[in-house]
Amino acid sequence: MRDFFFNPERFKEAMSQLESGTQERPDVWRWVLIPKTELGITFQGDYTVEYSPETSRSSWRTLEGNMRSSGEVVVRERESGVEVEYNETLEVSLPVPKIMAKAFGPIVSREVRHGVGDFLDRAAQLLAT
């Protein structure tokens, strides 16, 4: 479990909306998402994230890009199995004027929630095999 969530090379397998994921230097990865188009506006997430793995937790934060991601995952061994606590905050910089961003915000929020949920579902499937 720890090996999966603390290792971007492993957990990128669960990122269904990923176009590319490359290691820039130790503990720093650049993520490029598959472009999405809604109502004539195309957005492609492109951001660089620094990971800080420790013994039982790993945290991350965006260094640069058009998405901001920060969070942590904590893995605890329990008598009944392994407990995983996952927290993430995402923010997207849309390539539209601010007045239009208000209209597109709900669409982007829906897509981001779907992406995170899909990642966690796929992670559970990969870890179950």
Q: What does pTM read for this prediction?
A: 0.84
User: Domain range for residue 77?
Assistant: 2-128
Where residue 99 sits, what CATH number does that domain have?
3.30.530.20
Amino acid 60: pLDDT: 97
CA-CA distance, 127 to 22, in Å (whole number)? 22
Question: Is residue 103 predicted with pLDDT exceeding 80?
Answer: no
CA-CA distance, 46 to 26, in Å (whole number)? 19
Instruction: Look at residue 119 and give its three-state secondary structure.
Output: helix
Amino acid 42: pLDDT: 81
Residue 71 φ/ψ region, left for φ over 0, alpha for ψ in the -120 to 50 degree band, beta for the rest: left
| Count of structural domains within the chain | 1
The residues facing 32 across adjacent strands are 20, 46
Which residue is listed with tokens 């890009």? Answer: 65
pLDDT tier, 63 (very low <50, low <70, confident <90, very high otherwise): very high
pLDDT (mean) for 3-30 = 93
Question: Is residue 108 predicted with pLDDT exceeding 80?
Answer: no
Amino acid 57: pLDDT: 94
